[in-house]
Each structure stands twice: as C-alpha cells, then as structure tokens.
Structure 1
Amino acid sequence: MNFIKLYKIPLLFAITSIAFYVSFAYNLERSDFVKLISLYTALFFTAYLFIEKLKLNFWLLAAFGIAFRFIFIAAVPNLSQDFYRFLWDGRLLLQGVSPYLFTPNFSTEPVLSGVEGLEVTVEQSQQLIDGMGGLNASHFSNYPPINQLFFAIATLFGGKSILGSVVVLRVLIIFADVGILYFGKKILEKLNLPIKNIFWYFLSPFIIIELTGNLHFEGVMLFFFVWALYLLFKGKWFWAAVLIGVSVSVKLIPLLFLPLFLKYFEVENKTPKVLKIFRISVKRLLVFYFIIGTTVILTFLPFLSPEFIQNFSATTALWFQNFEFNASVYYVIRWIGFQIVGWNLIETVGKILPFLVLLFVLGIAFFRKNKTPQQLVIAMLFVVSFYFLLSTTVHPWYIATPLLLSVFTKYKFPIIWSFMVMLSYSAYGKVGFDEKLWLVALEYFVVIGVAVWEIYPFRPRPKLGATFP
C-alpha cells in the first residue's frame, strides 16, 4: 500500500501506457495512420515523463520496460510482414535446406537452382508466402546465419504454429533487450554518464513497438555489439572481437564501424621508439580484425557455395540499387535526376552513395580522434547516421542503432529521429502504398536541423567591450 501511495502518479501513467500498448498491439491496422501516430505520440510523451521528470529508480523503470514488452507477447505484428519470411527461412533450415538457395516461390519452379528432384515441404507455405508478399517471396534471403539460427529456434519450439513461433522470436528479442539494459548500464557507469540514459532505449516506445512488437532483430545485433563494447572498454579485446563477428552475422551494419577502431588501438607514444610502438598497435589491430573476420566466416561456412555468394550479394545489392523508401539525400538527387535526364537514376546513384559513405567512414577513422571509449562511440553514431542519410531505403527499425549509440553520448537527435521516423508509416494507406514526400521532408528537416544544432551549437558572439567572469 505504501508503494502505491509513493508511486501513484507513475503507476497511473504506466496503466495508461499499458492501455495504449494494448490498443497498438491488438487493435491497430497499419493503414490507420491517424490512430497510429496518435498512440505513438502519447506513448513517447509518457516515456519522456518516466525518464526525465518522475525521478524513478532504475529497477522500477526496468520493470515498466519489461511489462510493456510482454503486452505484445501474443500479438501478430501489424506494422511489418517480415516475420513471415523469418518463419519460412527457419522452416527450411530446420529441414537441412539452405534458405539462401531458394526463393519462397520455388514450388512453382520445375528445377530448383539446378538441383533436380529436391522435395521440401514447408508447413503453411501459402499462408507464409501470402503474408510476406510477392516482392519478398521473389527474392533470396539476405539474413545472415546467426539470424537464421534464431529463425530455426523459433520454428523448433514454435512447431507448426505461426503464433507459437512468433512468441519464441519475441521472447528472444526481449532477452536481448534486457542484455542491452545490463551492459548499457555498465558502459554508462564507466563513461560517468547518467544511468537514466539507457532508458531512452529500454523504455522507448519506438524500440518496444519496432523490435518486440514487429520482431526486427536489430536489438539482437545490438545486444552482441554492446556486449562487445563493454568488453573492449575493459581491455578484453579478443572476446570483444568474437562478439562483433557474431553481431555482424546477425545484421551486417557493424561492418561500418570496423575502420573506426584504427585510432582506438594506437598505443600512446611516450618513448622515442615510435616505430616499434606503432608496429605493436598495428599488430594488435590486425589480430582484432582477423578474429572478427574469422568469426564471421565460421558462421557463414556451413552455407558457403558459389550459388550462396551470388544470391546473397545480389539480394543485398537490391537495397542500394532497386528499393527506395523514406530516403533523404537520395530523394533530392532523384528529383534532380528527373529534372535533368527525365528518369530515375537509382541504379547509378545506388552505386555512388555507398562509395561516398566509405569515404566518410575512412575520413572519420583517419582524421578524427577516436582514442577514448566516448570518442569511439560518437564516431560510430556519426558514421551510422551519415549512412542512413545517404541510403535509398530507411525503414523505421533501422534507427534503433543510432538511438542506442546516442545514449552513450550527449547527442539527442536520434531520439527525435525515433519519433519523426514513424511518419513514414503514412505511406501505407487503405488503397495501397503512397509515400507522402512532404512528411518525409518534414522528418529529415527536423532531424537534420536538431543534429546540426547539437554538433555546431549556436552561440551569440559577445558584444565589443563585454567582460566575462
């Protein structure tokens, strides 16, 4: 009773949040954008109150975060169809069949990638194909092997039930988020930053909805990566490298960060033996990269074949040269292209933009000081944000990576981004897909504006003759 009296206001907001999450999970159609953005705005506001205003203790906030996630436990994702593909891949893998060699519509093909007489039965195949959609079903899988392992686990324990498999996937993602809470807290303590910052990830309605709710595996990838950062900051770089390799094998995005470790592994030069010390730092860095590469190769090894390399690389390239959604810089370039040549330049631009990202990453790696843990994390935040600004496709759940990295820095623009990116769901109307470019422009105008303000803060110039204490 004393607990209720002491925390009656937070509990009231928690009950309200539970009601909103229940509505979001079980009574929302993706095409009802007004309801979606209204519920999300209310949940974002209550999360802000929990984190910044109500001065609650760590364990109560953690309990709220876990409770909100379990609201979704029996919900079928309503904002994304990707989980149908997860289950398809898992059911293939559990039968010993590589999900990288066949598209879901393979049952209509007389010859399967050159292998005759292969008989594969996928339970509820038509329901899964209809659920994932024709576009997804027509392409090979591009989910890395550790991700595929989780899909197989969901199939193993979920049996023939789609909902049962969904529950297993959701529990795995919740465990990953709890791990992020644990290691994120430890990193914040090491960096002497407020512990409450981790709740901008753990209590974020964006994370709860997009990862726990819609079953995206960015959280699992980030769990291994944050664990790796924690070990790296403690000097245990061998196991940190292993975990980074595992993280890459969940989602490829950590590959962006590999050049940034260059300055972090430099040994401070306080002796005249410059060349010897430099060789030692480079040697350790190369071993670090070797361990990451070996870990990644070992996870891919069971699937390696010429067909796998061709299919996986071709499908990955589609995200740069064919697909477009919620882009920023690319949409400006696309408009200019239409004005000049009269057609969409995505195939050409999709090849150039990754090269610009690479130049930016190398510039940050070579010309910025990334020697301390916080400098390294800030560099990662800048790199991944720049990558998404130049991407042709930016689905909402992609923003989980910059959002988590931001909690270890002073920058808040990814938090704003995690709110604004939900405007992209306005594209899914009752009559089909129709992207509202003015809302896309609003999203990036706000996000880029806040980022510029934080990175280059405006300070009025002092008047002549002014004195300072």
Structure 2
Amino acid sequence: MLALWTGLFFLSYKIIKTNPSNIKFLAAIALGFRILFLFAIPNLSQDFYRFIWDGRMLLEGFNPYLSLPESWIAQGNAPITQAQELYDGMGALNGSHYTNYPPISQFCYLIAGVFAGKSILGSVIIMRTLIILADIGTFFFGRKLLQILHIPENRIFWYLLNPFAIIELTGNLHFEAVMIFFIIWSLYLLQKGYWYWAAIALALSVSVKLIPLLFLPLFFQKFITGFNNINLKNQLLKLIGFYGIIILMTILLFAPFLSSEFISNFSETIGLWFQNFEFNASIYYIIRWIGYQTIGWNIIGTVGKILPMIVIGILLLLTFFRKNNTTTELITVMIIGISSYYFLSTTVHPWYLAVPLALCVFTKYKFPIWWSFVIILSYTAYIHPDFKENLWFVALEYSIVFGIFIFEVIKNTTRVSLKSIYN
C-alpha cells in the first residue's frame, strides 16, 4: 500500500512538472482519474451507507436527525429499501448515533435517493457525480482566483491531481469536495468585491460541513483594512452584513429540520467528536499519555472540553495579531487556523485534510501536501482485525508534518520580516 501510494504521488508530481502550461491536459487527466472511480463501491470508508440512509429517509418524509438507524432495524419497520444492507454497511457504531451532516449534504443525499432509491451502486454513482461536479467548480473558480492573485495557474492541480484528494473525496465519497467548492467560490467572490455573494457561498459551505465556522473570525481584518476604502464605518457595516448573511442563510437552511429534539440530537453527536472518539491525534495523544501517567485513566472527557477553547484562543490571536488583510494573507491564516484545530483534535480522519490542502495552493505553504502524503500511515490501524492504531506510525506521521510546518512558518515569517525592513 505504501509503495503504491508513493508511486501515485510521484506520478502526480511528474505529470504537473512536465506539463506546467498545458492546463487543458492537466484538467482532462484530473477529470479522467475521477471518472475511473465512477462505478466503484468505496472500500476505505463506510460513511456512504449512512449518506444513502439519510437521503432515503428524507425522501420518505422522515427527518433524518430525529431517529437512529438501529431503532428502525430493531423494530423491523424501516421505511426505506435495503435498510438492513445499509445498516450492516454503516456499522453498529454509526447506526447508534444521530446523523450530524448539515442540510446541503442532506440535499445531496436526497438527490441520490430520488434518482437511485433502490440501488446502492446507483446512489454511489449519483453522489460521486455531484462530487466530481464540485471539483470542476473548484477548478473553474480556483483557476480564476490564482490568476487574480498572480499565482501560476497550474498550482490548482496540487489539489486536483493529488492522489489523496482523488481517492479520499471522489473514491471514498466524502463531501469535503463540495464544501471546498463553496469555500473557493466564496474567496473568489470576496476578492472581486462581491462580499454579499461571498457570504452566501460561505454559508452554503457551512451547510455542507460545519468546519468553515472556524474561519469566520479571520475575515475581520480583510473587511476593516483589506478593501480600498478608508471609511472605517462603512467597512464595519459590511463586516456586520457579511456575518449577518452567513448566520441568517445558515439558519434558513437548517429551518426545515429545526426543533428542540433536533438541537439536542445534533449537539450530542457533535460533542462525541470532542469527548468520545479518538483517532490519528497528535498533541492530544501526548496529553492523554501524561494523563495515564499522572492520574491513571483516559482524560478525554476533560481535555475534550478544554482543547476547543484553546483553538478559539488561537483563532482570536490570528484574527487580531497576525496581518491578514489581503486575500493571500487571509487564506494563509485560514490554513494555520484549521491546522491548529486538527493538531489539537482528538480525531483526525484522513479526509479532513482536504481543506488545508485545497487552500495551500494559494499560499507559500506546502506542509498540507506533505501531510496528505503521510496521512496514509493512519490506515495502518486497519491492519489489526479489531482496529488498533500503531502509535509509532502516528508519531512518524506527525514528526514529519510538524517538522515541515515549523520550518515553513519560520521561513515565511523571516521572509516577511526582512521584506518589511528593506521596504
């Protein structure tokens, strides 16, 4: 697996390196590699079974946020076709928790239910088509944004031809691809000055996966000092309008599902990611080890509440104390912010890295590319029949990532400092 993975990354590098100006050829290759997966059932993730379940429940008029698959299976009265097969596919762990996928994701699952309500493979094809279309959109707006920022256009293929992105998103059906499309579209619109449309696009991104909520504070400087307008009051009103549109749009998208039961179920499921689940963590595993050595048990319940507060503190520091008034600087702090979140998370699944990977093409940072390469080490957990992580592989992964991350932060910070001195 490691040999194949390395070979794919080398092939990707050579394709881009030998055809730097042939954008049409690179785009065709990126599309072709995705189409290869069109009729394949994912074998590195089982989440898609839950996607299909949610979409079919919604199609039958049931709110997918209010019931558990295991309850329907136990009662033997699930209102959808292939219910037992879907439940077996998603696994008892997934089936025992309420869904946490936001409305735009649910809409994508619903589309799969409408066009392939009785076929798992058919549903996979529909969802994969949506993901491929999202990547086409990312290519279109990402390329335009690179042109505006005077960055070589072929950098968009650091994401689009990255084997990780192709396999984890198109292959394994993770809708981070759709979320990334809306993020890139939003950044392009913001660069063009259409902040109101940018707010709508970002709200759509939040409604695919909640992770873009982390970025909201980071737009402060872009609005206050980043536009060519010296009227502070006017810029502040735009910032308030930007946040207001995002909040209102997100509420409207969630509105059809809202109820006290929904809020309870949804927040309960989100909390599990911080206080129950553990996978491929870095700093948290060190803290956990210290906890075992000092008190003798796993302290995830306590640490899982503290680490998000630290992340919020880091985001606020990046918001007010790091220069980010240009689009490139804004994207840079977005990468540092989301990476800090992952460095402190208790759970880091491979597909999470798609966001920093896509954003890094607009900056001088390349550590997300290296991370997308070494993340394959996390799959060694599946070597053990009972799914057991080898912490030596985790340590190797993060040693490489942290080493490159720290080097690039120092290098880029020094470069900026020297530039300011000479100017």
Same fold (TM over 0.5): yes
Deviation track 1:337-379 (CA, whole Å, cap 9, x = no partner) reads 0000000000100000000000000110011111111110001
Distance in structure 2 (CA, Å) of the matches to 1:436 and 1:330: 15
Cα shift at 1:53: 3.8
Distance in structure 2 (CA, Å) of the matches to 1:54 and 1:269: 36
Residue among 95, 99, 104 paired with 2:64: 99
RMSD, aligned α-carbons = 1.9
Q: Which residues of 2 match residues 166-185 of structure 1 at below 5 A?
A: 166-185=124-143
Residue among 236, 251, 255 paired with 1:297: 251
Distance in structure 2 (CA, Å) of the matches to 1:90 and 1:457: 47
Residue equivalent to 1:125: 83
Residue equivalent to 1:457: 411
Residue among 360, 363, 379 paired with 2:317: 363
**TM-score normalised by structure 2 residue count:** 0.95
Cα shift at 1:109: 5.9
Cα shift at 1:316: 0.5
Could you list the runs of 5+ residues in structure 2 that have no partner in the other structure? 415-423
Distance in structure 2 (CA, Å) of the matches to 1:237 and 1:388: 28
Residue among 182, 207, 212 paired with 1:249: 207
Cα shift at 1:440: 0.3
Distance in structure 2 (CA, Å) of the matches to 1:129 and 1:270: 54
Paired residues of 2:381 and 2:387 also in contact (CA < 8 A): yes
Deviation track 1:156-175 (CA, whole Å, cap 9, x = no partner) reads 11120000000000000000
Paired residues of 2:367 and 2:401 also in contact (CA < 8 A): yes
**Count, aligned residues:** 414
Letter of the structure 1 residue corresponding to residue 50 of structure 2: R
Cα shift at 1:40: 1.4
Structure number with larger C-alpha Rg:
1
Residue equivalent to 2:362: 408
Secondary structure of the residue that 1:265 maps to in structure 2?
Answer: helix
Distance in structure 2 (CA, Å) of the matches to 1:57 and 1:389: 36
1:86 aligns with 2:51: yes
Cα shift at 1:458: 10
1:418 aligns with 2:383: no
Cα shift at 1:332: 0.3
Q: Which residues of 2 match residues 415-454 of structure 1 at below 5 A?
A: 415-429=369-383, 431-454=385-408
Q: Which residues of 2 match residues 47-446 of structure 1 at below 5 A?
A: 47-55=12-20, 57-107=22-72, 120-267=78-225, 277-429=231-383, 431-446=385-400
Distance in structure 2 (CA, Å) of the matches to 1:401 and 1:52: 23
Paired residues of 2:226 and 2:325 also in contact (CA < 8 A): no
Distance in structure 2 (CA, Å) of the matches to 1:76 and 1:175: 19
Paired residues of 2:276 and 2:300 also in contact (CA < 8 A): yes
Distance in structure 2 (CA, Å) of the matches to 1:242 and 1:459: 33
Letter of the structure 1 residue corresponding to residue 67 of structure 2: F
Cα shift at 1:450: 0.5
Runs of 4 or more above 3 Å deviation: 53-56, 267-271
Paired residues of 2:73 and 2:83 also in contact (CA < 8 A): no
Cα shift at 1:241: 0.3
Cα shift at 1:266: 0.9
Cα shift at 1:50: 1.0
Residue equivalent to 1:12: none
Cα shift at 1:137: 0.3
Residue equivalent to 2:419: none
Distance in structure 1 (CA, Å) of the matches to 2:413 and 2:213: 36
Secondary structure of the residue that 1:327 maps to in structure 2?
Answer: coil
CA distance 1:297–1:343, shift in 2 (3 Å): same
Cα shift at 1:119: 6.3
**TM-score normalised by structure 1 residue count:** 0.86
Distance in structure 1 (CA, Å) of the matches to 2:225 and 2:356: 28
Paired residues of 1:177 and 1:223 also in contact (CA < 8 A): yes
Deviation track 1:388-431 (CA, whole Å, cap 9, x = no partner) reads 00000000000000001100001110000000111100000252
